[in-house]
Amino acid sequence: MAGSTNPMQSQLDNGLVTITYSDGTVSALPLRNPTNWWPIQEDYYTDGYAFTTGAPKPVRISLKKGTLVGENEKYTTIKGFTNRAIDGGAATVLNLPLDNRKELKSLTLKTLANDVVIGLMSITLRRE
């Protein structure tokens, strides 16, 4: 997924991915900035003091290069905004395990916060 969020939407659910099974049961994954939902234009600087996410850095894919955004990433600057900009942007890879004993009926993506853009770029289903 890729999208845009901002500091005003921090520490709250920006969106929700909901799985519905044929038997009517549901499973959901909240997209929470900055826990598992990071903005397309940058990586957060987490120092564990002034700013922390409470979670490991999510897997990010460079949209320009198609590679993982790593610890040795060469960031660019967005003047007056960030020194951790990702040239071409980055998508966040999310994982929502499904119950393989149930039949998948639907997947729904819903935005919850104002001023947030969420784009679903790809879904991969894998049987264990």
pLDDT tens per residue across span 64-118: 999 999 878 899 999 988 889 999 999 999 999 999 999 999 999 999 998 899 9
25 burial level (CB within 10 Å; 0-12, 13-18, 19+): exposed
Tokens 């996410």 correspond to 53
Give the pLDDT confidence of 21-38 residue by residue, as tens digits. 999 999 999 999 888 998
Q: What is the pTM of this model?
A: 0.86
Instruction: Measure the CA–CA gap between 38 and 31, rounded to whole angstroms.
Output: 9
Instruction: Measure the CA–CA gap between 124 and 128, rounded to whole angstroms.
Output: 13
Per-residue confidence (pLDDT) for residue 56, from 0 to 100: 86
Q: Is the backbone peptide bond immediately before 39 cis, with ω within 30 degrees of 0? A: no
Beta pairing partners, 20? 26, 106
